């Protein structure tokens, strides 16, 4: 599989760093910038899975290379699954991690049950145009306040079950051992190893 090129349909450099760390040198990961695709890709699906597929198809149709896209959401039980598919823009446009965190903490104020889960869906479209899906989840709880300065998104307020640390307090290696995205991407990597 060495030298195999795949586009990762994202402009999020944090995600690129996480995933390239998992892939190592086995796959040459191309970002949207690498293939001169700068426009915002529509995310009009009503589920995370639909959004992942929409993004992957958008890139494949324009660039003709295998591509994968992911969509991740945070689902909070006490808020009936919010923010879910709207996680990145929970507090409105433009997307802002700090405002999203603040809104979520405000909505959970005084609530004793703070269980939540991160869910990631990946859609990989291979060289033959066939869709393949992979998913991962991480369960935990929402903290009362921000703790840690690493990671991104909701990492400072999410503490996985069995851990004394939030995701924002973990090293990249620690996070990659347990994270929803890492679980899903390990499935993708295993698939690529077996099929390319």
Is 126 annotated as catalytic?
no
- The residues with which 124 forms a beta bridge, in sequence order, are 68, 132
- The residues with which 160 forms a beta bridge, in sequence order, are 140
Distance in angstroms (rounded) separating the CA atoms of residues 196 and 63: 19
103-131 pLDDT, tens digit each: 999 999 999 999 999 999 999 999 899 99
Strand locations in the chain (E): 4-8, 27-30, 67-76, 115-125, 131-142, 158-160
**What's the token pair of residue 131?**
């869709």
Distance in angstroms (rounded) separating the CA atoms of residues 58 and 79: 32
Does pLDDT of 151 surpass 70?
yes
Q: Average pLDDT of the chain?
A: 91
What does pTM read for this prediction? 0.86
For 125, the domain range is 4-195
The pLDDT score that the predictor gives to residue 143 is 97
Q: Please compute the mean of the pLDDT values over residues 149-162 and round it to a whole number.
A: 95
135 in Cβ contact with 122 (< 8 Å): yes
Q: Please compute the mean of the pLDDT values over residues 139-156 and round it to a whole number.
A: 95
How many structural domains is the chain composed of?
A: 1
4-34 pLDDT, tens digit each: 789 999 877 777 777 777 777 777 888 899 9
**In what order do the strands lie in the sheet containing 27-30?**
27-30, 4-8, 67-76, 115-125, 131-142, 158-160
The pLDDT score that the predictor gives to residue 1 is 41
Does pLDDT of 196 surpass 80?
no
Counting other chains too, the contacts that 169-172 makes at CB distance below 8 Å and 24 or more residues apart are 172/17, 172/18, 172/21
Choosing from 71, 97, 155, 173, which is the catalytic residue? 71
CA-wise closest residue to 120 among 26, 40, 30, 186: 186
CA terminus-to-terminus distance, the chain: 6
Does pLDDT of 174 surpass 90?
yes
Does pLDDT of 149 surpass 80?
yes
Residue 159 burial (CB < 10 Å; 0-12/13-18/19+)? buried
H or E segment and range at residue 51: helix 48-63
**What's the token pair of residue 42?**
């529509």
* CATH number of the domain to which 183 belongs: 3.90.950.10
């Amino acid at each position: 599989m060495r030298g195999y090129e795949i586009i990762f349909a994202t402009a999020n450099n944090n995600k690129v760093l996480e995933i390239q760390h998992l892939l190592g040198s086995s796959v040459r990961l191309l970002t949207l910038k690498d293939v001169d695709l700068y426009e915002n890709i529509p995310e009009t699906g009503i589920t995370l899975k639909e959004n992942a597929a929409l993004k992957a198809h958008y890139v494949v149709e324009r660039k003709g290379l295998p591509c994968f896209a992911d969509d991740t959401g945070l689902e909070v039980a006490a808020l009936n699954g919010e923010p879910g598919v709207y996680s990145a823009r929970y507090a409105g446009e433009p997307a802002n991690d700090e405002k999203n965190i603040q809104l979520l903490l405000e909505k959970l104020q005084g609530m004793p049950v703070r269980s939540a889960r991160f869910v990631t869906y990946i859609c990989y479209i291979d060289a033959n145009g066939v869709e393949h899906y992979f998913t991962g989840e991480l369960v935990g709880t929402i903290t009362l306040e921000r703790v840690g300065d690493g990671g991104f998104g909701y990492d400072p307020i999410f503490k996985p079950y069995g851990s004394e640390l939030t995701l924002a307090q973990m090293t990249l290696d620690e996070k990659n051992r347990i994270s929803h995205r890492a679980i899903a991407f390990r499935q993708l990597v295993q698939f690529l190893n077996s099929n390319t």
